[in-house]
Amino acid sequence: MIGQSAIRKEGRAKVLGATQYTADVPVEGLWRGATVRSDVPRGILRGIHFGEGIPWSEFTVVTAADIPGKNRVASIVADQPFLVGIGEEVMHPEQPVVLLAHPDRYLLEAARKAVRLEIEPLPAIFDMEASLRQDELIYGTDNLLKEIRIAKGDPAPIWETAAFVIEGDYRTGAQEQLYLETQAILAFANTDENGLRITIQGSLQCPYYVHGAIAGLFELPADHVRVTALEMGGAFGGKEDYPSLIAGHAALLAWKSGHPVRIVYDREEDMAATTKRHPSRTHIKSAFDANGHLLALDVDFQLDGGAYATMSPVVLSRGTLHAAGVYRCPHVAIHGRALATNTPPPGAFRGFGAPQSLFAIERHMDICAQRMGMDPVELRRRNFLRLGDSMATGQVIREDLDLAGLMDRALVELDYDAKRKRFQTENAASPEVCRGVGFAVFMHGCGFTGSGEAKLASVAGLEALPDGRVSVLAASTEMGQGKHTVFAQVAAEALGLPIELVEVAPSDTSRVPNSGPTVASRSTMVVGKLIQDAAVAFRQGLIQQGLLHEPFTPEAFQAAVRAMLARSGSYKTYAQYHTPPQQKWDDTSYQGDAYPTFTWACYATQVAVDTVTWEVAVEDFVAVQEVGRVINPTLATGQVQGGVAQGIGFGLWEEVRMHNGRMANTQLTNYAIPTLADLPEIRVVFLENPHPAGPGGAKGLGELPMNGPAPALLNAVDFAVGPLRLDEVPMTPERLLDRAEEVARG
Ligand code: MTE
Ligand code: MOS
């Protein structure tokens, strides 16, 4: 089964329109929930007023005063309230203050508009510069949500003696995940002789995160809370932490009203209020010897973390750990900071901080090559990490790594050398449309960072079904990335069964163990490995009991499973994660093995720039990557093509415009994402190098493709019309025009 393009387990239902997303589930006696939000970025809540003309007695109204347990969303730092109470501080302009429920959605909308919040305004800050300068102190003692330092050697003495010292400043903007299905949660509250029970169903990546949030909010024992992730229309990190907040809201309304309550955000509310990619600013100082060997790197990496910590500490961590890129360097200092501002908190988004810091280093390498009069290919080739080299944290490359091979393959596929020469002549001859080629070489750490996986201690398992088939038990969710299918393939392979005899249980906390959150591209490598181990144990168990003899037919296997069930009532096997002994990490010094392994890639692209309108057309895109072993080529190719499309949007078009801390362009007409018509064929090449950490040698793939497109595109645009020292994404036509005029003026 490994290496076969098995058909998506849930594909048929999706294609036939039979899949029920959260908003589609029919519910008897359903009420709808709505959220009243602050309308100022910062202030003290003084009063809540319910306007005229609304039959308020028909409504259920929830404020902070109603909350029975802890009014804090369980996250890394417990700083974000479910609802702001009277006398408390409002921290951003989309902050939830009042919840309303009613069976009629139109009346509900009218009521939402009729609630007036009395907020005594306080001065607010909206950008990283103001936060660093502490124009206002809005968070803790220094506006810092998190600070990280990584040190290797000592760059200080190098600046004096190096042949080249080159500095640059790079910025990336916010980006909206834009999953097709907006945020949606369904909540049920029931009280029996043992007390209150809350059931949540919804569009959510991490059932056990929501489980923890609800248990804390109502101070309930774990078995009184049940959370099920339904089929999702995409998530991309956007349903990692925010669903805990919405689930809390829906649960409070269901509990107080005595009715099931569904909250579904419309697109505008979803874009305005929920998390996005963190805007970033990176300053890089680098030193090279006369032959272009990298001697020292100093990186100052800053993220705009918004009003609460949410996922910022871990997004910052991954961004910081990827900041030195794929290069060998003896002296490295990296300083990462996540800064508080009065904007809705950004959160997880595919890549998790790495697209920001890798954009900076991969743009910087091209700018350095220009400054040193070197070919960007040759500069990279001289500095690539290889087997035995150590990274900034001291992590030693233990696998046979061939970045030069990856790069060469991508450049050959694109016909880079020939095109570089040809475009130089053609651009000079007809400057109305200029063509360019560019590339980026990059990586992505697999699984949770550092000791993260050890702390999670994830569990996954297999369960015998009465008809002799087998079900995979894991909390990991399906958001389009193909987890159902990949898990079934891994289990089928290890059991020696056809895939039809393996089903994947729903991600329901009452039924499946905690296999950890569905984030960090960890499902295939980390959870998949546990499933493989559980499957080996399952098969061995049947053999040891004398019920199965190798070699066996699927029918014999099913008979053995039924016999096992007849004997013992139920048959389940589990496997738990243990850190491999050679992997060492120190959380305080940030030294050691940040990840069990990395995936590696080179993406190369060809663009055409219209020098009248400054529109950029992406004419060709080649994505070459090494992701260990590919389990399902069709799904893996889809992951790369989708990630590249999102990366192209990030690099060229998707601009979040903020006004007083609030997103101003919350519609698909003014927030432009790439459509099929805007994209070239995205050509995908996998170079296989099986790694022992994952099932069948597979590593994680989901996020990698997001990291490369933006720098590759800007490198290509700069070749076409530069040098313009392009240092910011999205590089919209307006920005490109401004920069070209600036450079023309000298
Ligand atoms: N692909 C689809 N179709 N939809 C998604 O929401 N999320 C991405 C990536 N690919 C996503 C996706 C993100 S942010 C992550 S972390 C990984 O999938 C998670 O899934 P995995 O662990 O199975 O790679
Ligand atoms: Mo992905 S950003 O780790 O959900």
- The alpha carbon of 517 and the centre of ligand 2 are apart by a number of angstroms equal to 9
* Omega of the bond leading into 376 within 30 degrees of 0 (cis): no
Which residue is it, tokens 């649960």? 251
Instruction: Please give the share of the chain, as a percent, with pLDDT higher than 90.
Output: 98
Write out the two tokens for 131: 């936060």
Question: Which residues of the chain form CATH 3.30.365.10?
Answer: 29-122+183-264, 280-448+591-744, 452-576
Q: What is the pLDDT of residue 658?
A: 97
Mean pLDDT value of segment 514-522: 96
- Residues 463-491 pLDDT 10s: 999 999 999 999 999 999 999 999 999 99
- The alpha carbon of 187 and the centre of ligand 1 are apart by a number of angstroms equal to 25
Does ligand 2 have an atom closer than 6 angstroms to the CB of 359?
no
The beta strand positions in 203-260, using DSSP E, are 225-229
Does ligand 2 have an atom closer than 6 angstroms to the CB of 242?
no
SS3 59: coil
- The alpha carbon of 352 and the centre of ligand 2 are apart by a number of angstroms equal to 6
Does ligand 2 have an atom closer than 6 angstroms to the CB of 319?
no
Q: What is the pLDDT of residue 79?
A: 96
The answer to whether 362 and 715 have CB atoms below 8 angstroms apart is yes
Measure the CA dihedral 450/452/454/456, to 10°.
Answer: -170
Nearest ligand 1 atom to alpha carbon 483: 23
Residue with CA nearest ligand 1 atom 11 = 236
Q: Which residues pair with 608 in a beta bridge?
A: 435, 617
Starting from the CA of residue 525, give the closest ligand: 1
- The alpha carbon of 154 and the centre of ligand 2 are apart by a number of angstroms equal to 33
The answer to whether 183 and 243 have CB atoms below 8 angstroms apart is yes
Distance CA 137, CA 497 (A): 61
Does ligand 2 have an atom closer than 6 angstroms to the CB of 260?
no
pTM above 0.95, yes or no: yes
- The alpha carbon of 442 and the centre of ligand 2 are apart by a number of angstroms equal to 18
SS3 659: strand
Distance CA 674, CA 735 (A): 18
The beta strand positions in 534-636, using DSSP E, are 572-576, 585-586, 591-592, 598-610, 616-626
Q: Which of 204, 209, 458, 481 to mutate to test the pocket of ligand 1 (most atoms within 8 A of CB)?
A: 481
Does ligand 1 have an atom closer than 6 angstroms to the CB of 310?
no
Distance CA 265, CA 273 (A): 9
Distance CA 318, CA 447 (A): 11
Does ligand 1 have an atom closer than 6 angstroms to the CB of 639?
yes
- Residues 257-310 pLDDT 10s: 999 999 999 999 999 999 999 999 999 999 999 999 999 999 999 999 999 999
- The per-residue pLDDT of the chain, averaged, comes to 97
- Residues 10-45 pLDDT 10s: 999 999 999 999 999 999 999 999 999 999 999 999
- Residues 65-107 pLDDT 10s: 999 999 999 788 999 999 999 999 999 999 999 999 999 999 9
- The alpha carbon of 236 and the centre of ligand 2 are apart by a number of angstroms equal to 6
Indicate the fold that domain 29-122+183-264 takes in CATH. Answer: Aldehyde Oxidoreductase; domain 4 (3.30.365)
| Residue 678 binned pLDDT confidence (cut-offs 50, 70, 90) | very high
Among 336, 343, 277, 345, smallest CA distance to 77 is for 345
Tell me which long-range contacts 637-641 makes (C-beta under 8 A, separation of at least 24).
Answer: 637/684, 638/482, 639/481, 639/482, 639/701, 639/702, 639/705, 640/682, 640/684, 640/701, 640/704, 640/705, 641/682, 641/684, 641/705
Does ligand 1 have an atom closer than 6 angstroms to the CB of 350?
yes
Q: Which of 19, 236, 595, 634 to mutate to test the pocket of ligand 1 (most atoms within 8 A of CB)?
A: 236
Q: What is the pLDDT of residue 741?
A: 94
SS3 255: helix
Distance CA 310, CA 72 (A): 11
| Residue 668 binned pLDDT confidence (cut-offs 50, 70, 90) | very high
Instruction: Answer yes or no: is pLDDT of 746 > 90.
Output: no
The answer to whether 91 and 342 have CB atoms below 8 angstroms apart is yes
**Amino acid occupying residue 159:** W
Please check whether the domain covering 280-448+591-744 is classified as CATH 3.30.365.10.
Answer: yes
Q: Which of 274, 278, 350 to mutate to test the pocket of ligand 2 (most atoms within 8 A of CB)?
A: 350
- The alpha carbon of 46 and the centre of ligand 2 are apart by a number of angstroms equal to 37
N-terminal to C-terminal alpha carbon distance within the chain: 60
Q: What is the pLDDT of residue 74?
A: 76
- The alpha carbon of 28 and the centre of ligand 1 are apart by a number of angstroms equal to 33
| Residue 581 binned pLDDT confidence (cut-offs 50, 70, 90) | confident
Does ligand 2 have an atom closer than 6 angstroms to the CB of 348?
yes
Q: What does the longest C-alpha to C-alpha distance in the chain come to?
A: 85
Please check whether the domain covering 452-576 is classified as CATH 3.30.360.10.
Answer: no
Does ligand 1 have an atom closer than 6 angstroms to the CB of 522?
yes
**DSSP structure string for 298-355:** EEEEEEEEETS-TTHHHHHHHHHHTTTTTB--SEEEEEEEEEE-SSPPP---TTTTHH
Q: What is the pLDDT of residue 582?
A: 87
Q: What is the pLDDT of residue 643?
A: 98
The answer to whether 736 and 651 have CB atoms below 8 angstroms apart is no
Starting from the CA of residue 347, give the closest ligand: 2
Among 382, 150, 184, 175, smallest CA distance to 280 is for 175
- Residues 181-233 pLDDT 10s: 999 999 999 999 999 999 999 999 999 999 999 999 999 999 999 999 999 99
Does ligand 1 have an atom closer than 6 angstroms to the CB of 528?
no
Among 491, 492, 516, smallest CA distance to 577 is for 516
Write out the two tokens for 179: 């999953």
- Residues 537-555 pLDDT 10s: 999 999 999 999 999 999 9
Q: What is the pLDDT of residue 75?
A: 82
- The alpha carbon of 638 and the centre of ligand 1 are apart by a number of angstroms equal to 11
Mean pLDDT value of segment 326-337: 98
Radius of gyration over alpha carbons of the chain, in Å?
26
Residue with CA nearest ligand 1 atom 16 = 519
* 251-254-255 Cα angle (round to 5): 85
Nearest ligand 2 atom to alpha carbon 348: 2
**Amino acid occupying residue 407:** M
| Residue 397 binned pLDDT confidence (cut-offs 50, 70, 90) | very high
Nearest ligand 1 atom to alpha carbon 239: 6
List Cα–Cα distances, 234 to 223, 240, 721, in angstroms. Answer: 29, 11, 36
Write out the two tokens for 547: 């019920």
List Cα–Cα distances, 417 to 179, 356, 366, 410, 421, in angstroms. Answer: 38, 28, 16, 11, 7
| Residue 428 binned pLDDT confidence (cut-offs 50, 70, 90) | very high
Nearest ligand 1 atom to alpha carbon 480: 3
Residue with CA nearest ligand 1 atom 7 = 236
Among 419, 409, 454, smallest CA distance to 600 is for 409
